[in-house]
C-alpha cells in the first residue's frame, strides 16, 4: 500500500518509513522539515508540506493514491509545551484535525496515531494499563489526548479504523546506522548522556535524586525505535485486516533508573559521563512503565532490540558516525 507518513523525516517517523518499505509498502513522507531532516527520507518520496495546509494534504493523498496514514507530525518538548501552549495546541491538535478532514474527503479511513504515555499524567500504579485514568499534567500530553478523542469521533461518524499507540521512551538507532536520533535542541536522556561522554557538552543534568526508587532517580521504560517502528507496521496491517480500532501501549514492561542508563552509557562508550545533579522537575513522575500485554497479543509483537545495552550500543554507533 501507499502510506502517508506525516513527520516521516523525523526520528521515529523515518525508522517507521524504513520498516514500511521492508514490509513491501511505499512510505510517502509528508514533512515541512522544520524538525525533520531531508537525509532521513530514504525509502520513498518526500512531499514538503505543512500540516496546516489542508489542500496540500488532500492533493498529496490523491496524487499518491494513499490508502492509509501514520501520523507522527507534532511538537514533542514537554517543557516547551508549558511555556507555549497555544503553539502546541495549534500545531498538534488543529493540524491533526486538518489531516483527519483531508482523509475523510479523500476516502482514506485507516490511521495509526503516534500518541504518548503522557496522556496518563501522574500514574496511580505501574505498570500502566491502557484503561488507566487519563489526566495529563502538561499541554503536550493534553494535546495528544485531544487528538485521540478526535480520532475516536471520526471512527464513530466516518467509519475510520485506527490504532492509537501510546509509547513510552523511544530510544536507540537503526542497527544499520542509516538513520538515528538528531533533535535540535536535544532533550532526551540517552543522546545527552552520549554527548556528555564524548565531551560535546560539559555534563549531563540529572533531575531528581530523591525519588522513591531503588537509587533515588526516576524510572522509565525504554523501547528501541526499531521495535516501535515494527509495531506501527503491525498495527496498520491489523486494523486493515480486522476493520477494527485499537488503543495500545508500547513498551517493554521493564523500567530502568536514570543512574542505570548513565552506568550503561559509560560502559558502552568506555568513558565517564559527567553528571550535574539538579532538583526534580515539576510534573516528572517517579516511574513510568508500560503494561504492553495487549500489543504483544493483538499484534503478535515482541520487542527484540530493547535491552538497555543494545539501545545504548546502537545509539553510540550512530552518534560516533555523525560526531562533528
Q: What is the pLDDT of residue 69?
A: 98
Q: What is the pLDDT of residue 185?
A: 85
Q: Is the dihedral of CA 131, 134, 140, 146 positive or negative?
A: positive
Identify how many contiguous H helices and E strands the chain contains and give both numbers.
11, 14
Q: Rounded to whole angstroms, how far apart are CA atoms 19 and 228?
A: 10
Judged by DSSP in three states, 250 sits in: strand
Q: Which residues neighbour 157 within 8 Å (Cβ) at sequence distance 6 or greater?
A: none
Q: What is the pLDDT of residue 323?
A: 73
Contact 51, 57 (CB under 8 A): yes
Contact 208, 284 (CB under 8 A): yes
304 C-beta neighbours (distance < 10 Å), count = 11
* Omega within 30 of 0 (cis) for the link into 185: yes
Check whether 160 has a pLDDT greater than 80. yes
140 is catalytic: yes
Q: Rounded to whole angstroms, how far apart are CA atoms 92 and 120?
A: 18
Q: What is the pLDDT of residue 233?
A: 98
Q: Work out the burial of residue 109: count CB atoms within 10 Å of its CB; fewer than 13 is exposed, 13-18 middle, 19 or more buried.
A: buried
Q: What is the pLDDT of residue 284?
A: 87
Contact 270, 194 (CB under 8 A): no
Residue from 32, 101, 117 nearest 69 by CA: 101
Radius of gyration of the chain (CA): 19
Q: Rounded to whole angstroms, how far apart are CA atoms 134 and 137?
A: 10
Q: What is the pLDDT of residues 96-150, one digit of tens each?
A: 999 999 999 999 999 999 999 999 999 999 999 999 999 999 999 999 999 999 9
Q: How far is CA 190 from CA 43, 74, 195, 277, in A?
A: 26, 21, 9, 16
Check whether 324 has a pLDDT greater than 50. no
Q: What is the pLDDT of residues 278-290, one digit of tens each?
A: 999 887 889 999 9
Q: How far is CA 127 from CA 54, 134, 213, 221, 264, in A?
A: 39, 15, 14, 10, 23
Q: Which residues neighbour 90 within 8 Å (Cβ) at sequence distance 6 or greater?
A: none
> What is the chain's mean pLDDT, rounded?
96
Residue range 160-166: mean pLDDT, rounded:
98
Q: How far apart are the first and last CA of the chain?
A: 38
Q: Rounded to whole angstroms, how far apart are CA atoms 2 and 163?
A: 17
Q: What percent of the chain has pLDDT over 70?
A: 100
Check whether 11 has a pLDDT greater than 90. yes
* Omega within 30 of 0 (cis) for the link into 127: yes
Q: What is the pLDDT of residues 237-287, one digit of tens each?
A: 999 999 999 999 999 999 999 999 999 999 999 999 999 999 998 878 899
Which of 88, 120, 140, 211 is the catalytic position? Answer: 140
pTM across the whole model: 0.96
Residue from 324, 302, 304 nearest 314 by CA: 304
Query: Beta partners for 278?
Result: 207
Q: What is the pLDDT of residue 123?
A: 94
DSSP conformational letter for 198: T
Contact 61, 106 (CB under 8 A): yes
Q: What percent of the chain has pLDDT over 90?
A: 94
Contact 256, 218 (CB under 8 A): no
Check whether 41 has a pLDDT greater than 90. yes
Q: Rounded to whole angstroms, how far apart are CA atoms 141 and 143?
A: 5
Check whether 194 has a pLDDT greater than 50. yes
Amino acid at each position: 500500500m501507499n502510506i502517508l507518513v506525516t513527520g516521516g523525516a523525523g526520528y521515529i517517523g523515518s525508522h517507521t518509513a524504513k520498516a514500511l518499505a521492508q514490509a513491501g509498502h511505499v512510505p510517502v513522507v509528508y514533512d515541512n522539515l522544520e524538525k525533520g531532516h531531508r537525509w532521513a527520507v530514504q525509502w520513498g518520496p518526500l512531499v514538503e508540506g505543512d500540516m496546516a495546509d489542508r489542500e496540500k494534504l488532500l492533493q498529496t493523498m490523491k496524487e499518491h493514491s494513499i490508502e492509509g496514514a501514520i501520523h507522527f507530525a507534532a511538537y514533542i518538548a514537554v517543557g516547551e509545551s508549558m511555556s507555549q501552549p497555544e503553539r502546541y495546541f495549534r500545531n498538534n491538535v488543529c493540524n491533526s484535525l486538518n489531516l483527519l478532514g483531508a482523509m475523510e474527503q479523500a476516502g482514506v479511513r485507516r490511521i495509526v496515531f503516534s500518541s504518548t504515555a503522557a496522556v496518563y499524567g501522574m500514574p496511580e500504579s505501574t505498570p500502566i494499563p491502557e484503561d488507566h485514568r487519563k489526566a495529563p499534567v502538561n499541554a503536550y500530553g493534553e494535546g495528544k489526548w485531544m487528538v485521540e478523542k478526535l480520532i475516536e469521533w471520526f471512527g464513530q461518524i466516518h467509519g475510520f479504523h485506527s490504532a492509537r499507540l501510546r509509547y513510552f521512551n523511544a530510544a536507540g538507532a537503526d542497527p544499520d546506522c542509516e538513520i538515528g536520533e538528531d533533535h535540535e535542541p536535544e532533550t532526551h536522556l540517552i543522546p545527552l548522556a552520549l554527548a556528555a561522554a564524548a565531551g560535546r557538552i560539559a555534563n549531563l543534568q540529572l533531575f531528581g535524586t530523591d525519588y522513591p526508587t531503588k537509587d533515588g532517580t526516576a524510572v522509565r521504560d525504554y523501547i528501541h525505535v526499531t521495535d516501535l517502528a515494527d509495531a506501527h507496521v503491525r498495527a496498520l496491517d491489523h486494523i486493515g485486516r480486522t476493520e477494527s480500532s485499537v488503543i495500545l501501549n508500547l513498551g517493554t514492561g521493564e523500567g530502568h533508573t536514570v543512574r542505570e542508563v548513565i552506568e550503561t552509557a559509560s560502559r558502552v562508550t568506555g568513558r565517564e559521563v559527567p553528571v550535574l545533579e539538579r532538583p526534580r522537575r515539576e510534573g516528572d513522575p517517579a516511574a513510568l512503565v508500560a503494561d504492553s500485554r495487549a500489543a504483544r497479543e493483538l499484534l503478535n509483537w515482541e520487542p527484540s532490540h530493547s535491552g538497555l545495552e543494545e539501545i545504548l550500543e546502537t545509539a553510540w554507533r550512530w552518534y560516533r558516525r555523525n560526531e562533528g
